[in-house]
């Protein structure tokens, strides 16, 4: 991943980061880098995510899933970090395979999916770090029992990633299903390049060794300076912009197949940085389509938003002649032209724009992109004194659901029954 | 659509709208309502969108598309308002049909779609209000020429909505293809219930008369008071929150089939209100999935975000027993419980939450929802003195693309070639 941050600098961008401020910030980057490096080397929780390229063994993953007949549909059951990474990889690297990431308990949707998927040919990867995620357990049971009811030997077509001592872990151990341990100390949103998502990637025929190689390349090239490290340049620029009032980050891939990466990034950024009353809201978007929907607001709304474009070379060649006034149009050229035009329109109006550049849409570059953005997120946390590895604000709702399911009467369950106050119909 | 705004009121919500402020605001709502009503009755540009339930003739649409053999795949080609409404309706009301909304010029994606779609059975609705949208012309030419190359009589399988005096209009007239006029004076993002999107809806077997009936019901029930009009309650609450610093609106449907509505709403809100340095950024999300990705930021990030939940009764019944500790779980009940728990967790932390309620996921209620949100958007514009019908900030980039395609050398084309300033690799 390369990066262009010139259009986020003051005085071009308002607000923007002055070159002098960026140089001052680089001292802090150097200290933060030291903490990150120490964290990685000591295998500290969170930081060790940046080391997955070296600590994950792709051969074990490949050998474990090898006996599973994964030529047909691949179903992933999981929530949050157990779904978004798998979907990002499948969308980008296995667009011609049939796959389903079921991070939903919507009964209408699930009943329709059961109708649509040929379960007799399907395989399933069920993923829950804790082994106790209610939605994952429920949705997996929907799939498992549908297979069982159809006389399909689900035990031969399922692989799990979960903790042994957990409800899900006990279920899969009892059924003698292959089980991967989740990487300890790696939060879900940083775990895409681990046993959390690589088994389904392998079943989809994705080059998981390539992904890990890309991860290693970024890890090896982290330096103490943002001016030499694209990942840190991104994290530092975003941290500096956020402390200048830029509270929104529209993350816009210019390739439909990178749509899943934008949503994966959304969780990474929101859950890692949205705490203590600060943070920068990620907004997943789609290049070019969003010019016809959101560009108006990006360019003319409040000056609290940065646009991150993510560009990649399109190798496909397609040329058409839609009319005499347009002549012959090469879609790759037009695609790039439209991105540049949108970026320029923002820049001349003083809106900060950061461009991330991917050399190619392949496993190596995608692995590198994941780790670059994770390192950027950790650096942002360091610079703004936020712990980027926890997510305390989501516990209340989880516990409330558990309280109700357990039949308890608690302050949480009572809060659910509060009457509406101003209802208009 | 019903609405619950009690959880956006101060002092529960911080920031929130006090009950007294809301009552003061109701005087302004009454004056704004008068302007909106006058606008509708006089058929003024923009306002007339609220009258489409009465001015659109569904019989003509049905009769025109009737000869087109639309049992196979339905392809919609268009950008922005010519795509998002069609997608929202197809996702919500025709989930079991095969359809493609191609609001893209990504060559990789288009080449793959051409492989995937059985063009010999497909029909196409090409939509461009101006008839001069570059992306739509290009993508339509990709489809048209692929059909022609395959010996498929594309003229028998295509219908268009566009202006006669335009490049696209001339192409379809020359080919003798059925053509609908776009509704004059209705911006794309307000045109879902018109000839812009209803022809493809009709080809997908959607009850377009039901949609229009829903639209009429909202139009008929607009009153001068936000306390009696759910659409105005939404628009007024959002306008009041935005002037209290709530610059982000996470719009979260609790039904996977309403995903397209969130993206349709995104364009409506962003393009209508994001101007003059003000506006509220819409963020499309997914109920429950987002609890595992964004709830942390909603609840613990800056106090500049309101969550809009959109709930609907799930008629599907699905029950499973995922484990002794959970007992028998009804997915509909769990789905609702999780929404309530997330809402309550936000409310107890003083985060504003507004709940929109849809009685059922059918054509009537979806039509009503579209018009309610459009009326809310217009009211917001009135209250904050914004013109909700134009989108001047997107013109620069459009013109820059045209300049390049025409081979001109202008200040715009030169701005595109500005060298990057700070590139890190």
pLDDT of A327-385, one tens digit each? Answer: 999 999 999 999 999 999 999 999 999 999 999 999 999 999 999 999 999 999 999 99
* Nearest one of B307, B169, B303, B192 to B246, comparing CA atoms: B303
Q: What is the mean pLDDT of residues A272-283?
A: 97
Same domain, B150 and B232: no
What pLDDT does residue B310 have?
98
In chain A, what's the furthest Cα-to-Cα distance? 72
pLDDT at B288 over 70: yes
Label residue B317 by pLDDT band (50, 70, 90): confident
- Tell me which long-range contacts B289-292 makes (C-beta under 8 A, separation of at least 24): B289/A79, B289/A80, B289/A83, B289/A103, B289/A104, B290/B250, B290/B252, B291/A394, B291/A397, B291/B338, B291/B342, B292/A79, B292/A80, B292/A81, B292/A83, B292/A103, B292/A188, B292/A267, B292/A394
B interface test, pick of A139, A238, A397, A398 with most B CB neighbours within 10 Å:
A397
pLDDT at B286 over 90: yes
Same domain, A16 and A103: no
Number of domains comprising chain A: 2
Residue A80 lies in a domain: yes
Chain B residues with beta carbon closer than 8 angstroms to that of A335: 105-107
CA angle B84, B89, B91 (to 5 degrees): 90
Asked whether the beta carbons of residue B142 and residue A227 sit closer than 8 angstroms, the reply is no
Same domain, B29 and B132: no
Tell me the C-alpha distance between B319 and B330, whole Å: 4
Label residue A418 by pLDDT band (50, 70, 90): confident
Label residue A315 by pLDDT band (50, 70, 90): confident
pLDDT of B94-153, one tens digit each? Answer: 999 999 999 999 999 999 999 999 999 999 999 999 999 999 999 999 999 999 999 999
**Kind of pairing between the strands at B74-77 and B99-102:** parallel
Residues 6+ apart with CB under 8 A from B354: B3, B4, B5, B7, B8, B234, B237, B238, B306, B307, B308, B309
Chain B residues with beta carbon closer than 8 angstroms to that of A277: 300-303
Asked whether the beta carbons of residue A393 and residue B140 sit closer than 8 angstroms, the reply is no
Portion of chain B with pLDDT greater than 90, in percent: 98
Label residue A77 by pLDDT band (50, 70, 90): very high
Residue A118 lies in a domain: yes
pLDDT at B418 over 80: no
What pLDDT does residue A10 have?
95
Chain B residues with beta carbon closer than 8 angstroms to that of A189: 293
pLDDT of A170-207, one tens digit each? Answer: 999 999 999 999 999 999 999 999 999 999 999 999 99
Same domain, A142 and A21: no
What pLDDT does residue A417 have?
81
Q: What is the mean pLDDT of residues A114-120?
A: 97
Contact call for residues A53 and A191 (beta carbons, < 8 A): no
Portion of chain A with pLDDT greater than 70, in percent: 100
- Three-state SS for chain B is CEEECHHHEECCCCCCEEHHHHHHHHHHHHHHHHHHHHHHHCCCCCHHHHHHHHHCCHHHHHHHHCCCCCCCCEEEECCHHHCHHHHHHHHHHCCCCCEEEECCCCHHHHHHHHHHCCHHHCEEEEEECCCCCHHHHHHHHHHHHHHHHCCCCHHHHEEEEECCCCHHHHHHHHCCCCEECCCCCCCHHHCCCCCCCHHHHHHCCCCHHHHHHHHHHHHHCCCCCCCCCHHHHHHHHHHHHHHCCCCEEEEEECCHHHHHHHHHHHHHHHHHHCECCECCEEEECCCCHHHHCCHHHHHHCCCCEEEEEEEECCCCCCEEEEECCCEEEEHHHHHHHHHHHHHHHHHHCCCCEEEEEECCCCHHHHHHHHHHHHHHHHHHHHHCCCCCCCCHHHHHHHHHHHHHHCCCCCHHHHHHCCCCCCEEC
Residue A361 lies in a domain: yes
Residue A406 lies in a domain: no
Look up the CATH number of the domain holding residue B149: 3.40.50.10490
The single residue of A20, A96, A292, A411 carrying the catalytic annotation is A292
Same domain, B270 and B157: no
What pLDDT does residue A266 have?
98
Quote the minimal CA–CA distance from B59 to chain A in Å.
30
Same domain, B126 and B254: no
Q: What is the mean pLDDT of residues A115-140?
A: 98
What pLDDT does residue B420 have?
66
Asked whether the beta carbons of residue A142 and residue B294 sit closer than 8 angstroms, the reply is no
Search chain B and give the residue with CA nearest A102. Answer: B289
What pLDDT does residue A116 have?
96
Chain B residues with beta carbon closer than 8 angstroms to that of A391: 296
Residue A409 lies in a domain: no
Residue A19 lies in a domain: yes
What pLDDT does residue B343 have?
97
Asked whether the beta carbons of residue A279 and residue B300 sit closer than 8 angstroms, the reply is yes
pLDDT of B4-31, one tens digit each? Answer: 999 999 999 999 999 999 999 999 999 9
| Residue where a domain stops, chosen among B209, B242, B264 | B209
| Residue where a domain stops, chosen among A209, A232, A259 | A209
pLDDT of B186-225, one tens digit each? Answer: 999 999 999 999 999 999 999 999 999 999 999 999 999 9
What pLDDT does residue A420 have?
66
**Residue A398 is a catalytic residue:** yes
Q: What is the mean pLDDT of residues A132-154?
A: 98
Chain B residues with beta carbon closer than 8 angstroms to that of A110: 318, 331
What pLDDT does residue A371 have?
98
Portion of chain A with pLDDT greater than 90, in percent: 98
Q: What is the mean pLDDT of residues A221-235?
A: 98
Q: What is the mean pLDDT of residues A386-398?
A: 97
Same domain, B192 and B320: no
Residue A420 lies in a domain: no
Same domain, A225 and A200: no
| Token pair listed for B127 | 């939509």
Same domain, A241 and A364: yes
What pLDDT does residue A313 have?
87
**Residue B398 is a catalytic residue:** yes
Same domain, B58 and B202: yes
Q: What is the mean pLDDT of residues A130-149?
A: 98
Same domain, A153 and A200: yes
Q: What is the rounded average pLDDT for all residues in chain B?
A: 97
Buried b (16+ CB within 10 A) or exposed e, B56-75: bebeebeebbeebebebbbb
What pLDDT does residue B316 have?
83
Tell me the C-alpha distance between A297 and B278, whole Å: 9
| Residue where a domain stops, chosen among B175, B209, B243 | B209
- Look up the pTM and report it: 0.98
Quote the domain boundaries for residue A93: 50-209
Candidates A112, A279, A314; nearest CB to B301? A279
Q: What is the rounded average pLDDT for all residues in chain A?
A: 97
**Residue B271 is a catalytic residue:** yes
Same domain, A226 and A373: yes
Residue B167 lies in a domain: yes
B interface test, pick of A322, A336, A389 with most B CB neighbours within 10 Å:
A322
């Amino acid at each position: 991943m390369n990066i262009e941050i010139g259009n986020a600098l003051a005085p071009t961008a308002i607000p923007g980061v002055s070159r002098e401020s960026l140089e001052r910030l680089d001292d802090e980057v150097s200290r933060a880098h030291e903490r990150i490096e120490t964290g990685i080397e000591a295998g500290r929780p969170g930081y060790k995510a940046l080391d997955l390229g070296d600590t994950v063994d792709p051969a074990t993953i490949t050998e474990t899933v090898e006996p599973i007949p994964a030529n047909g549909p691949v179903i992933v059951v999981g929530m949050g970090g157990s779904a978004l990474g798998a979907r990002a990889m499948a969308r980008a690297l296995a667009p011609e395979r049939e796959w389903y990431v079921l991070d939903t308990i919507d009964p209408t949707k699930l009943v329709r999916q059961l109708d649509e998927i040929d379960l007799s040919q399907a395989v399933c990867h069920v993923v829950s770090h804790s082994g106790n995620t209610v939605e994952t357990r429920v949705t997996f049971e929907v799939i498992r029992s549908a297979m069982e009811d159809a006389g399909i030997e689900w035990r031969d077509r399922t692989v799990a990633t979960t903790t042994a001592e957990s409800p899900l872990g006990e279920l899969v151990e009892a059924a003698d299903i292959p089980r991967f341990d989740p990487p300890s100390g790696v939060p879900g949103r940083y775990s895409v390049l681990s046993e959390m998502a690589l088994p389904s990637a392998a079943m989809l025929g994705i080059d998981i060794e390539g992904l890990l190689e890309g991860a290693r390349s970024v890890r090896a090239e982290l330096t103490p300076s943002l001016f030499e490290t694209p990942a840190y340049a991104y994290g530092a620029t975003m941290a500096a912009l956020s402390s200048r009032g830029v509270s929104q980050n529209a993350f816009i891939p210019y390739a439909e197949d990178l749509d899943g990466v934008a949503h994966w990034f959304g969780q990474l950024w929101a859950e890692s940085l949205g705490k203590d009353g600060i943070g920068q809201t990620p907004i997943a978007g789609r290049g070019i389509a969003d010019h016809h929907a959101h560009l108006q607001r990006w360019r003319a709304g409040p000056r609290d938003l940065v646009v991150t474009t993510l560009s990649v070379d399109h190798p496909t060649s397609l040329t058409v002649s839609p009319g005499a006034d347009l002549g012959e149009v090469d879609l790759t050229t037009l695609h790039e032209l439209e991105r540049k035009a949108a970026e320029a329109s923002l820049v001349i109006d003083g809106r900060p724009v950061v461009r991330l550049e991917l050399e190619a849409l392949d496993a190596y570059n995608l692995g590198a992109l994941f780790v670059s953005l994770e390192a950027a997120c950790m650096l942002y946390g360091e610079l703004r004194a936020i712990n980027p590895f926890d997510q305390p604000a989501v516990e209340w709702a989880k516990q409330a659901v558990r309280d109700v399911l357990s039949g308890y009467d608690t302050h949480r369950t009572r809060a659910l029954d509060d009457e509406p106050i101003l209802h208009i119909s």
